[in-house]
């Protein structure tokens, strides 16, 4: 199924890279305190998925995976719009986007 001859670089390399990027993004979400940086880490995770999609699509010679990437990009753009608006709104009232300061509700 995986046609090695069509690839200069074997697709498994791309998948491994996307996995590494995904985990990097996940760790970023867990460690960062700045809302924007967390958000960028999420974007990294989404894009690692895009990479995996493209790699798989190429190996299957199937266009569906590549189409999916466009959907993911569109959704990511929407999330940026909404997310940045929220972050700006929060910055206006609190003068900070450190998410560790956001814990008025707990328990």
Partner 1 sequence: MQLPILESINLMAVLPVLIIAGWACVLLVFDLLIPRSRKHWTAWLALVGLLGAAVALFFQIGHFARLGSEAAFDGMVTVDGFSIFLQVVFVLTAIVGVLLALDYLPRHGIERGEYYVLLLFTTIGMMIMSMAADLIVVFVALELLSIPLYILSGFAGMRETSEEAALKYFLLGAFASSFLVYGIALTYGGTGTTRLTGIAQAVTSDALNLPLTTVGMGLLLVGLGFKVAAVPFHMWTPDVYQGAPTPVTAFMSVGAKAGGFAALIRVLVTAFPAIASEWGTLIAVIAGLTMLLGNIVAISQSNIKRMLAYSSIAHAGYILLAVAAAQRSENASFAIGAVVFYLLAYALTNLGAFTVAIAVERDDGTGTEIDDFAGLGKTRPWMALAMALFMLSLTGMPISGGLVGKVFVFQAALQAVPGDPLLLAVVIIGVLTSVVSAFYYLKVIMVMYMREGEGKAVLPLALKTVLAATAFGTLVLGIIPGPVFQMAQRAMLK
Partner 2 sequence: MNSLFSLIPLVVFFPLLGMLINIFFGRMLMADENSKAPGVIASLMAGLSFVIAVLMFVALLGEPEGVEVPFMTWFSISAGSRTLSIPWTFKVDTLSSVMMLVVTGVGTLIHIYAIGYMHGDIDEQASKRGLSSDEAFDLKRRRFPRFFAYFNLFLASMLILVTGSNYLVMFVGWELVGLCSYLLIGFWFDDPIVGIYNSMAGRKAFVVNRIGDFGMVMALMLIFWTFGTLQFDDVFARAECMRTASQFECLAVDAAQMVETSPNFSLMFGFGLLQPISFGAITLSFQTVMIAITLLLLLGATGKSAQIPLFVWLPDAMAGPMPVSALIHAATMVTAGIYMITRSNVLYAMAPFSADTVAIIGAATALVAATIAVAQFDIKRVLAYSTISQLGFMIAAVGLGGYVAGIFHLATHAFFKALLFLSAGSVIHGIEHGHHATAHKGHGDHAFDPQDMRNMGGLRKHMPTTIVVYIVGALALAGIPPLAGFWSKDEILLDASKHDPLIYILLTIAAFFTAFYMGRQVWMVFFGQPRTEAAAHAHESPPVMTTPLIILAVLASIGGLMNLPFGRLHFLAEWLRESVAYAHVPAAGEGFSITVAVISTVLALAAIALSYIIYGTKPLQEGQADPLRVAGPLFTFLNRKWYWDEAYEAVFIRPFKCLANWLAFTIDWRFWHDFVHDSVIIQFFDGWAAILSRPVDMGIVDGAVNGIGRLVAGASSRLRRTQTGYVRNYALAVALGVVAIVAYLLIRFFAN
Nearer to partner 1, 7 or 87 (CB): 87
Largest interatomic CA distance in the chain: 58
| Rounded Cα–Cα distance for residues 26 and 43 (Å) | 10
Nearer to partner 2, 7 or 90 (CB): 90
96 lies in the site for partner 1, by CB under 8 A? no
Exactly one of 20, 27, 31, 86 binds partner 1 (CB under 8 A); that residue is 86
15 lies in the site for partner 1, by CB under 8 A? yes
Residues within window 38-77 making contact with partner 2, judged by CB under 8 A: 38
Among 65, 66, 62, 20, smallest CA distance to 45 is for 20
């Amino acid at each position: 199924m995986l046609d090695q001859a069509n690839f200069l670089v074997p697709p498994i390399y791309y998948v491994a890279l996307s996995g590494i990027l995904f985990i990097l993004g996940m760790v970023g979400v867990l460690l960062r305190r700045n809302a924007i940086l967390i958000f960028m880490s999420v974007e990294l995770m989404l894009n690692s998925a895009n990479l995996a999609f493209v790699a798989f699509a190429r190996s299957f010679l199937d266009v569906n995976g590549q189409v999916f990437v466009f959907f993911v990009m569109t959704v990511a753009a929407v999330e940026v719009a909404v997310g940045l608006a929220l972050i700006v709104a929060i910055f206006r009232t609190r003068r900070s986007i450190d998410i560790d300061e956001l814990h008025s509700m707990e328990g």
